[in-house]
């Protein structure tokens, strides 16, 4: 079976397993990158002909290790590629497409998880200043993300009926993993949100995730900061942990299923560390 044919079967299985659209698209990107590399190097994309050596050659190639502009990929990004290759060929073996997975020797590199990218107070002020001068919808979206810690997909999936301003809560019907959860609206955001939803029906923000990312990216470029929708979520988490020192609170704010995921925010301030060691 050819690589693209097996990829179709793999995607179908991922869909049957309930994997997210974003996860499936990442697998597809990685496997198409492998297919492109095979083509450039004159290697037949027949799965039975792909050996452990061919997989290793691909993973050490510039096509796998470098970005489009020639920079070396982050270790975490390279690990994601390794995982995609391993999972795809493990599926091919389990489905009887190949006798043995040629990626069975692939291991993820050991690397420390980078600290969450959170905006400083000054950066938040600059971002909000730009948002205020833009469309009301885009400003409201940015303020909601910075106020609640919602994932971008959660915010874009909200409908007017999900917002209960009398109680100061937002009912997220389908959070990550299709779990419902509750988000809390800061008091200072309530009047703005009330103005936004007045006489409005249906979706709170009728735009696509791609468009929302572009909008936030444009605002970030205008303020000359590095920011994304997820950076706004990290900002909320970092602020909540700084105020409370309680990972359980941060977990609830972010809607994490496990506090282990929230643990990455448990980073002490430099001043606290210095005082603790008497520096």
CATH code for position 128: 1.10.443.10
DSSP 123-139: HHHHHHHHHHTS-HHHH
| Residue 187, in any domain of the structure | yes
Cβ contacts of 92 within 8 Å, gap of 6 or more: 6, 10, 47, 98, 101
- Catalogue the E-assigned strands of the chain: 163-164, 169-172, 181-184
Q: Are residue 90 and residue 125 in the same domain, yes or no?
A: no
Q: In this structure, is residue 99 part of a structural domain? A: no
3-class SS string, 66-130: ECCCCCECCHHHHHHHHHHHHHHHHHHHHCCCCCCCCCCCCCCCCCCCCCCCCCCHHHHHHHHHH
Position 104 scores a pLDDT of: 96
Check residue 279 and give its pLDDT: 67
Mean pLDDT value across residues 200-222 = 94
Give the pLDDT band of residue 269 (cuts 50, 70, 90): low
Task: Let me know if residue 100 belongs to a domain.
Answer: no
Half-sphere exposure of 102 (CA within 13 A, CB side): 17
- Same domain? For 247 and 137 the reply is yes
Residues in the chain: 279
Better-scored residue on pLDDT, 125 or 111: 125
Residue 260, domain member (yes or no): yes
Is 161 among the domain residues? yes
Whether 112 maps to a domain, the answer reads: no
Residue 31 and residue 75 in one domain: yes
CB 168 within 8 A of CB 187: yes
The residues near 172 (Cβ < 8 Å, ≥ 6 apart) are 150, 154, 157, 158, 162, 180, 181, 182, 183, 255
Domain boundary residue among 78, 94, 110? 94
- The number of domains in the chain is 2
Determine the average pLDDT of the residues in 7-25: 93
Is 179 contained in some domain? yes
Same domain for 23 and 156, yes or no, is no
pLDDT band at 42 (very low <50, low <70, confident <90, very high): very high
Residue-number span of the structural domain to which 186 is assigned: 121-269
Closest CA to 160 of 193, 185, 126: 193
Query: What is the phi-psi region of residue 70: left when phi exceeds 0, alpha when psi lies from -120 to 50, beta otherwise?
Result: left
Same domain, yes or no: 81 and 156: no
Neighbours of 94 (CB within 10 A): 11
Residues 101/89, Cβ–Cβ less than 8 Å? yes
Q: Please state, for a pLDDT cut of 70, what percent of the chain lies above it.
A: 94
263 domain residue, yes or no: yes
Write down the pLDDT at residue 270: 62
Residue with tokens 């706004």: 232
Specify whether 130 is located in the same domain as 253. yes
Average pLDDT (209-226) is: 93
| 81 and 174 fall within a common domain | no
Claim: this prediction has a pTM higher than 0.75: no
H helix and E strand count, the chain: 14, 3
Residues 216, 141 within the same domain: yes
160 shares its domain with 255 = yes
Q: How confident is the model at residue 76 (pLDDT cuts 50, 70, 90)?
A: confident
Could you give the CA distance from residue 98 to residue 102 in angstroms, rounded to a whole number?
9
Mean pLDDT of 30-45: 96
The answer, yes or no, to whether residue 202 has pLDDT greater than 90, is: yes
């Amino acid at each position: 079976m050819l690589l693209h044919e097996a990829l179709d079967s793999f995607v179908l299985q991922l869909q049957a397993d309930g994997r997210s659209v974003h996860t499936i698209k990442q697998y597809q990107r990685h496997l198409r990158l492998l297919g492109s590399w095979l083509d450039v190097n004159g290697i037949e994309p027949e799965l039975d002909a792909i050996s452990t050596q061919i997989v290793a050659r691909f993973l050490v190639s510039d096509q796998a290790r470098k970005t489009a502009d020639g920079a070396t990929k982050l270790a975490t990004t390279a690990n994601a590629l390794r995982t995609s290759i391993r999972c795809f060929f493990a599926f091919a073996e389990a489905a009887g497409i190949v006798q043995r997975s040629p990626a069975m020797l692939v291991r993820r590199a050991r690397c420390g998880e980078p600290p969450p990218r959170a905006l400083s107070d000054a950066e938040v002020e600059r971002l909000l200043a730009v948002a205020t001068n833009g469309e009301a919808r885009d400003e409201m979206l940015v303020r909601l993300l910075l106020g609640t810690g919602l994932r971008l997909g959660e915010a874009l999936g909200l409908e007017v009926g999900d917002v209960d301003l009398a109680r100061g809560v937002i009912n997220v019907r389908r959070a990550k993993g299709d779990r419902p959860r509750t988000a809390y609206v800061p008091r200072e955001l309530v009047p703005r949100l009330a103005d936004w939803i007045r006489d409005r029906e249906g979706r709170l923000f009728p735009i696509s995730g791609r468009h929302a990312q572009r909008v936030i990216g444009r605002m970030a470029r205008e303020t000359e900061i590095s920011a994304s929708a997820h950076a706004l979520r990290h900002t909320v988490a970092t602020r909540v942990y700084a105020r409370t020192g309680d990972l359980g609170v941060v977990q609830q704010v972010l809607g994490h299923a496990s506090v282990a995921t929230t643990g990455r925010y448990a980073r002490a301030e430099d001043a606290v560390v210095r005082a603790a060691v008497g520096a």
